[in-house]
Amino acid sequence: MKKKPFVTGPWPKLQRHWDIRAACNFIGGGTGTGLLLAAAAAAAAGQTFAPALAAGLCFIACGLTMVLLEIGRPWRAFNVFFHPQTSWMTREGVVALPLFGCGGLALLIHWAGGPGQVVAGLTGLAALTACGFLYCQARILRAAKGIPAWREETLTPFLLSSGLTEGFGILAGLAAIGLAPSWAPLAALGLGLLRLAAWQNYGKGLSARGVPAASMAAIQNIGPAFLIVGHGLAALLLATSVPWPGLAALSAIGGLLLAAAGWWAKQTIVMKAAVTRGLSIPRTPVRGSGTSRLVNKPNWETEAA
Amino acid sequence: MKPTRHGSARYVPTYCYNCVAGPDLLTVKVEDGVATEVRPNFAATGIHPADGRVCVKAFGLVQKTYNPHRILTPMKRTNPKKGRDQDPGFVPISWEEALDEITGRLNRIRAEGLLDDRGLPKVAASFGHGGTPASYMGTLPAFLAAWGPMDFSFGSGQGVKCTHSEHLYGEFWHRAFTVCSDTVHSRYILSFGANVEVTGGVCAVWRHAEARVRGIKRVNFEPHLSVTGAASAEWVPIKPKTDGALMFALINTMLFEQPRERLDIPFLRDRTASPYLVGPNGYFLRDPESRKPLMWDTVTNRAQPYDTPGVVAALEGAFTVPEAVEVGADDEVWTYSDVRVETAFTRMAETMRPYTAEWAEGICDVPATRIRRIAGEYLDNACIGQTIEVDGAVLPFRPVAVTLGKTVNNGWGAYDCVWARTMLACLVGALEVPGGTIGTTVRINKPHHNRLASVKPGPDGFMTANVNPTKRGKWEEKPTGRNAHKTLVPLVGNGAWSQALGPTHLAWMFVRESPESWVRPSYPEMWFIYRTNPAISFWDTHQLAETIARMPFVVAFAYTVDETNYMADILLPDATDLESTQLIRMGGTKFIEQHWEHQGVVLRQPAVDPCGESRDMTWIATELARRTGLIEKYNAALNRGAGSVPLKGDGFDFSLDLDKVHSGDEIWNAACKAATAELTHGADIKDLAWFRENGFFVVPFKRVDWYLYPTMVEQGLRFELPYQERLTRAGIELGRRLHEQDIHWWDRQLAEYEPIPRWHDIPEIWINALRNTGANPDDYPFWGVTTKSMQHTTGSNAAVQLMDEVAGNLRTHGRVVMNRKAAEKLGIKRDSWVEVRSVANFTRGQVELVEGIRPDTILITGQFQHWATPYAKDRNYPSLNTITPMSIELTDANGSGSDVVRVSVRPIEEVAA
Amino acid sequence: MTRYVMVADLRRCVGCQTCTAACRHANATPPGVQWRRVLDLEIGEYPEVQRVFVPTGCQHCSDPPCVAACPSTATRQRADGIVTIDYDICIGCLYCALACPYEARSKVDEPVYAYGDDPTASETARFDPRTIGVAQKCTFCVDVIDAGVAAGLTPGKDRAATPACANACISGALTFGDIDDPNSAVSRLLRENKHFRMHEDAGTKPGFYYLWDKEALPL
């Protein structure tokens, strides 16, 4: 069968509506969720959890603040709660309320010297809602039908795993200064490997689905450094915590690398791979007694089946 | 639509005539005295061919009105030095001071004599594209008429930017200043570079869209995939300037590969000069007594004068004629006995014999099989023998047409193309009949508003023709204008439009440097410019700006500062499109593809008050007339119709008092009444107040009057084809006259006067021109061509942001357009910057890589590269005009040139705005 | 029921952008904001190449992803299919713009004028501060439709009740009307011609149809 001709013309465009501020929300949301989850585990085990809990809440709050700075009408931010029926953005906002409620309360009770079980319970609830928050964030991107690189369903596991990995990476850093449990580096390493698998899976998904060449290029561009530095080197450094627990700085750096790699990937996904699908037509019109031709997708590197 | 009120909003009917495809009828929404929106005028539904819709350009008029860069007071130059590098130092002055300055000089000129010592007018005036400024200049034409001799030869692009040869030959052969397809009936159109979807206006766009849905087949021959190519059924990427060869091959295929019955034999025999016998010296063989051309009568088997009753002429063949004469140039006569001669048709066929499809394939880069197929399709669709009833008249139905675009129908090779196009129509009887190739309007002949009425019986069974004399004693040896139009170009005629038709680049060239044996003309003492910017719209624009800087005194009606009025001495702010009053004709058949079933007049009226100190052109013209003591002549010119329509006619008289100074309203009130009286024979007279409410007035126009054929039949006339005896004679006479003056630099042009055109390797003319400058043709491997965009063409609107913005939705706007693969070979990437260089100059721009262009061609749309016009100068767009040289070598016999230039392209770093 | 749709005949469209300019006028959008625009597409490789002009803008989808995405309910769909934006509710997050597969939405964060920092008289007259910092897009000229319907007019048939782009289109490519009315022009065009919608795979069910050929006549 003759190959269908490609369209050229208005090329798929990099979206300009969301910039680094929006990316920061995904960064803060993911990292914060990871930290909250770690805090919940630590709290349940009776280990140091408060710094992780506080940091996690801060990350999420910072992310949301950045969004507030991005939207055109920040004074109307409350309107974000109006559409829980279908909007993942509303749901993200709704989930954030109990998240901050439980998390904040846990911190307050903890600092006030309240009962540890209550604190652990509230931290656990905060972590649970944070997972919901992170899931909502992942679905926000998935629901953006204008951006093929976000539509790919394997993006959700990547965002979930990356969020947790980033949080545990930071946790490894906190552990180095005694503000988190010592198992943090190994947990981070484990999650990092999980994320790597999710990343590879995302890449495969993009190839299979077909996305604009510019999207693919953006993802592929960060691939080697993301793999070698963000995971390989980070894993090596984190692994030092087993034979040489005294060299905490190394595992801290490994944890931070792991986190930074996730942030870089998200910034890339939100700002560089976020290319529109382009405007195209499936076939050309018949002008007078001319002929119509079937048309391929515009400037997409791979073609959907 | 009547001016109506919704809240504080008013809707004011008016027109847009920013291009020759106007007027478009529109309404302007005015809120609290501010124009805010342009809308179609749906009151014209059923009257206007596109039901009152408006071209995109009209939507620029609101921004045009409120452009903060407008000149809003009269200004004078304070820097006596002129040039691109000289700040003019314009300072505001009063109208009184400005008019005093101008009329003081005018009065001095009048006192000293209107002509200089070479007989050239001391005052010159230039106006923009295609007469469009006439629809905005109010009564200025009456002042120009009152003034006397004025030089209109400094063009803004006429000759090189118009469809020049089509104008001249079109009008000569079928009263078709411009030519189009009868789209509402056509089934098959061959379009050679015509870009009707861009330049044809709303009427043409509407008609062609209807035709496409109906299933018409249009084949577009063009080096790049233009908008019209896009909207065609088939695009043929032909090599630039080889269209004539392809048309010759189409004719050859029809003549030698198809049975004769597939042609319209009766049409060729009875409506063309095909059966005229041609003598040994190449002139028609004539009856010794009457000197009428002879045909071979198949009834009596003898030669008979063409108008002998009952004659059935032989279309082709060779015959022996016992007694005959030939009349050559300067009335030289040859007398013959038993002379063996052929018909004009046979001569034509033999001339076309070598031009086979295979021959054309090598020249045009179009496969011979495709050429044959297209020739066959043309004949298949010609419906030979069929008729159609139009307004009760039975006319031939020949739904095939051939249209030509700029660069095809001007410059070298244009004669071949225009002749071949008209011949293709004649072969199947599709000239000036329903479905065929038809004309629109006349400008060289009169009356301008009725081309059918311009048809008068002339010599040899043909129409009269407004051809400048070439015989000794009658030839205009001493030019009366700086471009010498009557001296050099017989076919341009001597009408009101003739001088401005060109060759206008010769005026610009001659004032700088005159050729051998030619006295260099003076610069005019005063030059008026209105709605024109030749420093952008002509060629070799850098040099042109330098030439303009040498003009001693320039008066510019100025909208903003621009590249031409940068050299002006006085700027006069005229009230623009939405601020002033004028009445113009509309409907009937007009430029481009305006075929209405109504005709009438339409008013342009101030939707809003003029901004600043800008004044209505009618007020300015009246002041000029008053202050130069010409008010009587001015009023007389108005009464004759110089402002719009004659104010006195059959059964009506709204003449203005000659000695009074009339207000604009008085003048236009009289015009409104006179126009409606003329249209209704006095039955229905409308005044200015009525027009302000209603906008336009029409009466029915018969569809049968779209076609010239019935008039030709009625007057027993023949189309002057295929054989160009009259023009060949004129060319030979012209050559003799010029040689008598020791002028030889026009010899190449003289060679173009051939009775039947032959192929002369047209592209090679450009290659040779390169060689003659000492350049190596291999260094300039691309053809540089241009095209128009509807958003900007002729609109003088490069400073209108909205037009720039919406034009930007098209990939070609403001870019150097290249074939993707050709660019890749040069290492040129998408959206990168390139320099396009010719022997004359260079231009730079961002590249747009497309598939729809020949690999050997680059395209630059529109006319940009402004350096003074606010807004436009920040666009940083390239322009082919910057790099296209002006030369006599690249000027054809009609004085026109083509927008084609050999160029090189190289990647460069980004150029900052 | 009433379901308003736009039909664009790609055989007719010549890319002149008259609809774009008319829309800019009718809706007083600032420079660079085009609710209606016409794309210039090329298909194929030289010399087998076609060029197609495609009017586009908000497709007023039956299943509009923007409506689902909008967290504030500023973007809504009316019963007649028209997708609207309530400027007084919109928070300007532009999530809707990313949810739209048709690149139909815009936002300006501060006033933009044709000529530099100062508005022209017409821009001053038309400036609407509600449009700053919020999402905006084609509304099918909903105010005109509503006023027309209230006056007893039929959108798509009566000019005074029809979107500016369809009114202005000089090639007759754009036709507006009620697809639920079998006698409307749009229903007739869709019956008589082959058509598609853009990005059908996105499942948005656009209310914007493209004609590309006549329907084979029934035997």
Say if B527 falls within a structural domain. Answer: yes
d(CA B884, CA B21): 27
d(CA B152, CA B65): 28
Q: Please indicate, yes or no, whether residues B768 and B891 belong to a single structural domain of this protein.
A: yes
The answer to whether the beta carbons of residues B712 and B455 sit under 8 Å apart is: yes
pLDDT at A8 (0 to 100): 64
The label of the residue with tokens 């300019």 reads C21
Residue C213 CA from chain centroid, whole number = 22
pLDDT at C217 (0 to 100): 60
The answer to whether the beta carbons of residues B617 and B137 sit under 8 Å apart is: yes
Q: Please indicate, yes or no, whether residues B404 and B385 belong to a single structural domain of this protein.
A: yes
Any idea what the CATH number is for the domain that residue B796 is in?
2.40.40.20
CA angle B65, B66, B68 (to 5 degrees): 130
Yes or no, beta carbons of A73 and C91 under 8 Å apart: yes
Residues 6+ apart with CB under 8 A from B54: B16, B24, B25, B26, B38, B39, B40, B41, B202, C18, C168, C170
What pTM does this model have?
Answer: 0.96
Q: What are phi and psi of B9, to 5 degrees?
A: -95, 140
pLDDT at B3 (0 to 100): 45
Say if B397 falls within a structural domain. Answer: yes
Q: What is the mean pLDDT of residues A126-145?
A: 97
Q: Which amino acid is at B425?
A: A
d(CA A82, CA A76): 11
pLDDT at A244 (0 to 100): 83
Subunits close to B (at least 3 CB pairs below 8 A): A, C
The label of the residue with tokens 């980004």 reads B910
Say if B659 falls within a structural domain. Answer: no
User: Shortest CB distance from C53 goes to which of B212, B230, B853?
Assistant: B230
Q: Which residue in chain A has the smallest CA separation from B852?
A: A8
**Is the CB of C32 inside 8 Å of chain A's CB atoms?**
no
Q: What is the mean pLDDT of residues B880-904?
A: 95
Q: Which amino acid is at B755?
A: P
Q: What is the widest separation between alpha-carbon atoms in chain C?
A: 63
The answer to whether the beta carbons of residues C185 and C156 sit under 8 Å apart is: yes
CA of A31 vs chain C CAs: smallest distance (Å): 22
pLDDT at A5 (0 to 100): 64
pLDDT, one tens digit per residue, over B248-304 is 999 999 999 999 999 999 999 999 999 999 999 999 999 999 999 999 999 999 999
Yes or no, beta carbons of C125 and B229 under 8 Å apart: no
**Is the CB of B815 inside 8 Å of chain A's CB atoms?**
no
Q: Which residues of B touch C11 (CB under 8 A)?
A: 209, 212-213
Yes or no, beta carbons of C25 and B59 under 8 Å apart: yes
Per-residue pLDDT of chain C (219 residues; tens, 9 = 90+): 999 999 999 999 999 999 999 999 999 999 999 999 999 999 999 999 999 999 999 999 999 999 999 999 999 999 999 999 999 999 999 999 999 999 999 999 999 999 999 999 999 999 999 999 999 999 999 999 999 999 999 999 999 999 999 999 999 999 999 999 999 999 999 999 999 999 999 999 999 999 999 987 655
Q: With CA atoms as reference, report the closest residue to B137 among B537, B616, B626, B605.
A: B616
The answer to whether the beta carbons of residues B815 and B847 sit under 8 Å apart is: yes
Show which of B541, B572, B603 is a domain's final residue: B572
**Is the CB of C217 inside 8 Å of chain B's CB atoms?**
no
* Mean pLDDT, all residues of chain C: 96
User: Shortest CB distance from B217 goes to which of A8, A9, A288?
Assistant: A288
Strand, helix or coil for residue B377:
helix
d(CA B888, CA B511): 14
Domains of chain C: 4-212 (3.30.70.20)
Show which of B557, B572, B587 is a domain's final residue: B572
The answer to whether the beta carbons of residues B396 and B267 sit under 8 Å apart is: yes
Q: Please indicate, yes or no, whether residues B830 and B721 belong to a single structural domain of this protein.
A: no
Residue B502 has pLDDT above 90, yes or no: no
Say if B12 falls within a structural domain. Answer: no
Task: Take residue B351 and report the two structure tokens written for it.
Answer: 């001339």
**Is the CB of C41 inside 8 Å of chain A's CB atoms?**
yes
Q: What is the mean pLDDT of residues B711-730?
A: 98
CA of B214 vs chain A CAs: smallest distance (Å): 7
What percentage of chain A carries pLDDT values higher than 70? 94
Q: Which residues of C touch B821 (CB under 8 A)?
A: 46
Q: What is the mean pLDDT of residues A81-99?
A: 97
The label of the residue with tokens 């594209």 reads B129
d(CA B4, CA C172): 26
User: Shortest CB distance from B68 goes to which of C25, C39, C120?
Assistant: C120
Q: Which residues of C touch A295 (CB under 8 A)?
A: 43
Secondary structure, 3-state, chain A: CCCCCCEECCCCCECCCCCHHHHHHHHHHHHHHHHHHHHHHHHHCCCCCHHHHHHHHHHHHHHHHHHHHHCCCHHHHHHHHHCCCCCHHHHHHHHHHHHHHHHHHHHHHHHCCCCHHHHHHHHHHHHHHHHHHHHHHHHHHHCCCCCHHHHCCCHHHHHHHHHHHHHHHHHHHHHHCCCCCCCHHHHHHHHHHHHHHHHHHHHHHHHHHCCEHHHHHHHHHHHHHHHHHHHHHHHHHHHCCCCCCCCHHHHHHHHHHHHHHHHHHHHHHHHHCCECCCCCCCECCCCCCCCCCECCCCCECCCCC
Residue B585 has pLDDT above 90, yes or no: yes
User: Shortest CB distance from A87 goes to which of C68, C94, C135?
Assistant: C68
Residue A21 has pLDDT above 80, yes or no: yes
Task: Take residue A230 and report the two structure tokens written for it.
Answer: 């963000």
Yes or no, beta carbons of B212 and C12 under 8 Å apart: yes
The answer to whether the beta carbons of residues B249 and B355 sit under 8 Å apart is: yes
Total domains in chain B come to: 3
pLDDT, one tens digit per residue, over B632-662 is 999 999 999 998 899 999 999 999 999 999 9
Q: Please indicate, yes or no, whether residues B515 and B374 belong to a single structural domain of this protein.
A: no
Q: Please indicate, yes or no, whether residues B237 and B378 belong to a single structural domain of this protein.
A: yes
Q: Roughly what angle, to the nearest 10 degrees, separates helices B368-380 and B243-256?
A: 60
Q: Please indicate, yes or no, whether residues B319 and B398 belong to a single structural domain of this protein.
A: yes
Q: Which amino acid is at B528?
A: F
Q: With CA atoms as reference, report the closest residue to B904 among B886, B883, B887.
A: B883
Reported ipTM exceeds the 0.90 cut: yes
What percentage of chain B carries pLDDT values higher than 70? 99
Q: Please indicate, yes or no, whether residues B308 and B181 belong to a single structural domain of this protein.
A: yes
Strands C36-45 and C48-57: antiparallel
Q: Please indicate, yes or no, whether residues B91 and B144 belong to a single structural domain of this protein.
A: yes
d(CA B266, CA B263): 9
Q: Please indicate, yes or no, whether residues B342 and B479 belong to a single structural domain of this protein.
A: no
Q: Roughly what angle, to the nearest 10 degrees, separates helices A248-267 and A20-44?
A: 140
Subunits close to C (at least 3 CB pairs below 8 A): A, B
Q: How many CA atoms lie within 13 A of B530 on its CB side?
A: 25
Yes or no, beta carbons of B871 and C115 under 8 Å apart: yes
Q: Which residue in chain B has the smallest CA separation from A8?
A: B850
For chain A, the structural domain boundaries read: 20-272
pLDDT at A299 (0 to 100): 57
**CATH code 1.20.1630.10 for A20-272:** yes
Q: Which residues of B touch C36 (CB under 8 A)?
A: none
* Mean pLDDT, all residues of chain B: 96
Show which of B553, B572, B591 is a domain's final residue: B572
CA of B209 vs chain A CAs: smallest distance (Å): 9
Confidence of residue B5 (pLDDT cuts 50, 70, 90): very low
Q: What is the mean pLDDT of residues A36-51?
A: 95
Q: What is the mean pLDDT of residues B825-849?
A: 96
Residue B144 has pLDDT above 80, yes or no: yes
pLDDT, one tens digit per residue, over C10-68 is 999 999 999 999 999 999 999 999 999 999 999 999 999 999 999 999 999 999 999 99
Q: Please indicate, yes or no, whether residues B152 and B168 belong to a single structural domain of this protein.
A: no
Sheet holding B9-16, edge to edge: B5-6, B9-16, B24-31, B34-40
User: Shortest CB distance from C171 goes to which of B66, B209, B821?
Assistant: B209
Residue B4 has pLDDT above 60, yes or no: no
DSSP C126-147: H--GGGBTS-B----SHHHHHH
Q: Which amino acid is at B143?
A: F
Q: Please indicate, yes or no, whether residues B306 and B436 belong to a single structural domain of this protein.
A: yes
Q: What is the mean pLDDT of residues B57-84?
A: 98
d(CA A241, CA B304): 117
**Is the CB of C112 inside 8 Å of chain A's CB atoms?**
no
CA of C3 vs chain B CAs: smallest distance (Å): 26
Q: Is B388 exposed, middle or buried (0-12, 13-18, 19+ CB in 10 A)?
A: middle
Say if B658 falls within a structural domain. Answer: no
Neighbour count for residue A34 (Cβ, 10 Å): 34
pLDDT at A302 (0 to 100): 40
CA of A18 vs chain C CAs: smallest distance (Å): 8
Yes or no, beta carbons of A290 and B232 under 8 Å apart: yes
Confidence of residue A305 (pLDDT cuts 50, 70, 90): very low
Residue A166 has pLDDT above 70, yes or no: yes
Q: Which amino acid is at B270?
A: D
Yes or no, beta carbons of B206 and C170 under 8 Å apart: yes
Q: What is the mean pLDDT of residues A275-286?
A: 93
Domain membership of residue B179 as a residue range: 164-444+710-731
Q: Is B159 left (phi over 0), alpha (psi -120 to 50) or beta?
A: left
Residues 6+ apart with CB under 8 A from B624: B99, B102, B103, B106, B143, B630
Helix boundaries (H) for B443-517:
485-488, 498-501, 504-512
pLDDT at A4 (0 to 100): 62
d(CA B227, CA C13): 10
Q: How many CA atoms lie within 13 A of B70 on its CB side?
A: 25
Q: Please indicate, yes or no, whether residues B153 and B233 belong to a single structural domain of this protein.
A: no
